[in-house]
Amino acid sequence: MRSVWRRYRALPGRAQGALIVAAVVLVLIAAAVDGASRKAANTAKSGPVAPGATATAQTTTVNPVPVQTTASAAAPSTTPTTAIPAAATTPSANGTSAAPQGPGACHVRGSGLYVLPDPGCTPGEINPDVAQSDIGSTICASGWTSTIRPPESYTEPLKIQQMSAYGETGSPSSYEEDHLISLELGGSPTDPRNLWPEPGASPNPKDDVENAARRAVCDGQMSLASAQQAIATNWMALGQQLGVVTATGPATAPAPPSPPPVASPATPAAPITAPAVGCSPTTPSGNCYQRGEYCPSADRGATGTDAGGSPITCEDVNGTWRWE
């Protein structure tokens, strides 16, 4: 190497420059030849390269790992449990769907404490977790409704919203955000179609109907579906059938006394005689049973008389005990 170096130093400057250029060219040629050799080797392993294909395409793995199609676990929801859900469009208990509830869009039927909600806004909705086959462990079990009752933090904002829809301008404390189909009859706890601002704070006349209907269902006098349908359609009519509501108010409320007849000065007043018609047995409030009314468990198979004195019998009619 030293002799080569001495000979290089002995050359003129131009000759030295030419040798350096030649050396660089030889290095470039060697690199090109090495790259061509590697490319030929890769082609021999993976097959000919299609026109326009890149080297990256040639080295793609033949059997890629299959893409996982199983959905990943959903992240925990951040929606508050008290958020008011939008009105659903699935069929309700009486076959209708809740209409949009803008201000003043809904109207009650009746007056005072004896009113019915707007069937288009509050049709009623049932709890899918309650069925006739499990009433013993749900609605008929003591304390069960407290396990599903929604909190006030949910019902109070909904009451304000629905009061506007019903055009109610009174104090919210004068209304109960009530379940049309009560929880003790398998009504939905949170569906807005089953909740409405009922006039009067709890307890109110409808509470007596709910309790009587629950007893009838749990005693086997009425099916769960029949009670749900009846209370969603007209809770006052159901209360009359169960003997806890009259046409004008609660059956337990005493009737106002009739004023005594005024005798004419010229004619002495005729003696007042009570009608000679009685009935047996009577409802807990003292009223006469009518044909078709539900009869309590204690009267099953018993025979009595209605208000007109005609005989009636507590019979099993298609699984429901009624006076016939």
**Mean pLDDT (10-residue bins), the chain, 324 residues:** 66 71 76 67 50 41 38 37 38 47 88 91 96 96 94 94 93 93 96 93 86 95 96 94 75 46 47 53 74 77 82 80 78
One domain, residues 284 and 244 = no
Any domain includes 139: yes
Any domain includes 271: no
Any domain includes 177: yes
Instruction: Write out the E strands in 50-174.
Output: 109-111, 114-116
Instruction: Say how many domains are in the chain.
Output: 3
One domain, residues 245 and 128 = yes
Determine the pLDDT at residue 250.
Answer: 53
One domain, residues 32 and 114 = no
Any domain includes 98: yes
Using only C-alpha atoms, what is the Rg of the chain?
A: 44
Any domain includes 85: no
Determine the pLDDT at residue 4.
Answer: 62
One domain, residues 140 and 29 = no
pTM of the prediction?
Answer: 0.51
Rounded-to-integer distance, Cα 66 and Cα 63, Å: 8
One domain, residues 164 and 309 = no
Tokens for 264, please give them.
Answer: 């004419």
The three-class DSSP label of residue 216 is helix
Rounded to 10°, the helix 224-233/205-218 angle is 160
How far is CA 62 from each of CA 38, 171, 255, 302, rounded to the nearest angstrom? 20, 74, 93, 86
Q: Which domain holds residue 324?
A: 278-324
One domain, residues 155 and 224 = yes
Determine the pLDDT at residue 35.
Answer: 67
Determine the pLDDT at residue 251.
Answer: 52
The residues that bridge with 176 in the sheet, in sequence order, are 198
Any domain includes 257: no
One domain, residues 285 and 240 = no
One domain, residues 96 and 244 = yes
Tokens for 230, please give them.
Answer: 């009846």
300 burial type by CB count under 10 A (0-12 exposed, 13-18 middle, 19+ buried): middle
One domain, residues 222 and 148 = yes
Determine the pLDDT at residue 130.
Answer: 96
Determine the pLDDT at residue 256.
Answer: 45
Determine the pLDDT at residue 203.
Answer: 80
Any domain includes 186: yes
- Picking from 223, 224, 212, the residue whose alpha carbon sits closest to that of residue 296 is 212
- Cis? peptide before 281, omega within 30° of 0: yes
Determine the pLDDT at residue 93.
Answer: 47
